[in-house]
Amino acid sequence: QVQLVESGGGLVQTGGSLRLSCAFSGGTFSTYSMAWFRQAPGKEREFVAGIGWRGGTINYADSVKGRFTMSSDNAKNTVYLQMNSLKPEDTAVYYCAARTSSLVVVTTFYDYKYWGQGTQVTVSS
């Protein structure tokens, strides 16, 4: 059974940086597509960034382009989300998600089967 464990959230001031990690286990990492989503109170879960099959494509939500960078370390079965120039509107619980590999990056949360427990990111103004 695939398991995802996130870490790295916390409290940071506006303009600061955080790096989230998501450790994957219970399956063959290279056969899954990974993504980050976030959910703020009272809002729907939204796509942040995702990696397509074998890391060939990385897509970002418009709201984070140029500020966030997603990467993958296949040797460690881990994906990362480097978040720079953080804004108060980035405050949310951030989730790592996995689904069977697709060539294109899937941005809809209901298409992902496996989810981590979430990690809180709070950006103070």
Residue 47's contacts (CB-CB under 8 Å, 6 or more residues apart) are 35, 36, 37, 61, 107, 108, 109
Query: Nearest CA to 60 among 82, 41, 40?
Result: 82
Per-residue pLDDT 10s for the chain (125 aa) are 999 999 999 999 999 999 999 999 999 998 999 999 999 999 999 999 999 877 678 999 999 999 999 999 999 999 999 999 999 999 999 999 999 988 888 999 999 999 999 999 999 99
Instruction: Give φ, ψ of 17 to 5 degrees.
Output: -135, 150
Which of these, 72, 70, 69, lies nearest to 85 by C-alpha position?
69
Residue 24 structure tokens: 């994957």
